[in-house]
């Protein structure tokens, strides 16, 4: 299968592993690369030294192209971005910030840049700033999807920009891949579907929980980490949605995060305070949510923790290997495309008879 995405990233299939913190590890990224797709290594919760180690491990597992991400919203995220640039990661994915300086640096060594966006404004800004492609994240997605569903957002942005579009949010099988291509996208990105694969580090009990969920069993809220996001409907998420920000808890959590990520807590704290009360409240929620994310995604604890989960969880009923999933996706897309073509085909004989 060939699209602008496969040609841009030098991959075999237009399928991307979303950069999920704690989940998109070197093993999972390499498995996606070996299957013919593009895996995005998640470095948002890594300190720069750990990011460098992850890149090295990924390269030891595969010699095929891969990506790594940086979330510019996080304090001192530029340190991680500079590591990815210094390591000359083939594809750098950024989100929640201005990426013109990233594009300039990555293009200097011949790499590619893909920006994750949820709005028309940010899509146009990414193209203007030099991104080679965009990942368009619809409302159905796990974690930080946009307000508009993929069915509307993808074709709108595909019409607006000249660069390739990767559709994210609402995709889990070959039918979704075929639909995304029909909507004008050049490929799909998936998080929830890959989270359930055998190579995923998510605890088995969480994979089993996700398998039980229906399409209605998620919540979308800005009261977990300060940004609108989608999670599994479970005790931990529901509790956090009702809770108020506790300044002391946020302070303790922020110090722990700064130590873990080898950041200057005082410098980060001062920067957040200068950004104003709204940003400070958001970052306080994010600091508190950090431990909840880790508990849900790495420890399988839905009482204390939360698990980002897309609505496609209701379409998932097994835990294949990445290679098995790729085979299904490509075969399913071809079958769906054939059905659509057959449905749209004109009966030439009947049409001809009508004309005579």
Is the confidence at residue 259, as pLDDT, over 80? no
Q: What is the pLDDT of residue 356?
A: 38
Q: What is the pLDDT of residue 354?
A: 46
Residues 6+ apart with CB under 8 A from 313: 192, 210, 211, 213, 214, 215, 217, 218, 232
* Residues 125-171 pLDDT 10s: 999 999 999 999 999 999 999 999 999 999 999 999 999 999 999 99
Q: What is the pLDDT of residue 78?
A: 86
Q: What are the backbone dihedrals phi and psi of residue 309, each rounded to the nearest 5 degrees, phi first?
A: -150, 130
Answer whether residue 303 shows pLDDT above 90. yes
Those residues whose C-beta lies under 8 Å from the C-beta of residue 247, and which sit 6 or more positions away, are 284
How many angstroms separate the first and last alpha carbons of the chain?
41
Looking at the chain, the whole-number percentage of residues with pLDDT higher than 90 is 75
What are the tokens at 211?
A: 């398998």
On the question of pLDDT at 302 being above 90, the answer is: yes
Predicted pLDDT at 261: 52
Sequence-separated (6 or more) residues with CB below 8 Å from residue 226? 281, 282, 283, 284, 285, 286, 289
Instruction: Give the DSSP letter of residue 245.
Output: P
CA distance 257 to 288: 10
Cα 25 off chain centre by: 13
C-alpha span between 277 and 230 (Å, rounded): 24
More confident residue, 246 or 105: 105
pLDDT tops 60 at residue 80:
yes
Structure tokens at 79: 């340190």
Interval 167-203: pLDDT, tens: 999 999 999 999 999 999 999 999 999 999 999 999 9
* Predicted TM-score of the model (pTM): 0.88
Provide the 10 A C-beta neighbour count for residue 88: 14
Domains of the chain: 4-202+318-340 (3.20.20.70), 214-298 (no CATH)
Query: Which residues lie closer than 8 Å to 325 by C-beta, 6 or more apart?
Result: 35, 193, 194, 197
pLDDT band at 22 (very low <50, low <70, confident <90, very high): very high
């Amino acid at each position: 299968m060939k699209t602008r995405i496969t040609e841009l990233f030098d991959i075999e299939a237009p399928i991307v592993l979303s950069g999920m913190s704690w989940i998109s590890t070197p093993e999972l990224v390499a498995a996606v690369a070996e299957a013919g797709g593009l895996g995005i290594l998640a470095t948002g919760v890594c300190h720069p030294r750990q990011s460098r180690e992850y890149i090295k491990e990924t390269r030891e597992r595969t010699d095929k192209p891969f990506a790594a991400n940086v979330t510019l919203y996080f304090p001192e995220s530029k340190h991680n971005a500079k590591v990815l640039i210094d390591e000359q990661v083939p594809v750098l994915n950024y989100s929640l910030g201005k990426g013109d300086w990233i594009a300039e640096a990555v293009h200097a060594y011949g790499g590619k840049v893909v920006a994750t966006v949820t709005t028309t404004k940010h899509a146009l800004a990414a193209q203007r700033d030099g991104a080679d492609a965009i990942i368009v994240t619809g409302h159905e997605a796990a974690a930080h999807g946009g307000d508009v569903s993929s069915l509307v957002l993808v074709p709108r942005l595909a019409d607006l920009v000249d660069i390739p579009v990767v559709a994210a949010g609402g995709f889990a099988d070959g039918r979704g891949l075929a639909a995304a291509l029909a909507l004008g996208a050049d490929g799909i990105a998936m998080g929830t579907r890959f989270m359930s694969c055998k190579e995923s580090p998510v605890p088995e009990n969480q994979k089993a929980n996700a398998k039980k969920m229906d399409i209605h069993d998620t919540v979308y809220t800005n009261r977990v980490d300060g940004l609108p996001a989608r999670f599994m409907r479970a005790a931990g998420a529901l509790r956090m949605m009702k809770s108020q920000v506790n300044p002391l808890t946020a302070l303790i959590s922020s110090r722990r995060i700064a130590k873990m990520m080898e950041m200057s807590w005082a410098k980060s704290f001062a920067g957040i305070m200068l950004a104003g009360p709204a940003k400070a409240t958001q970052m306080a929620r994010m600091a508190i949510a950090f431990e909840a994310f880790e508990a849900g995604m790495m420890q399988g604890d839905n009482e204390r923790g939360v698990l980002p989960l897309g609505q496609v969880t209701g379409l998932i009923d097994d835990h294949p290997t990445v290679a098995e999933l790729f085979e299904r996706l490509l075969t399913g897309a071809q079958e769906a495309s054939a059905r659509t073509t057959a449905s749209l085909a004109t009966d030439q004989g009947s049409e001809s008879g009508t004309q005579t």
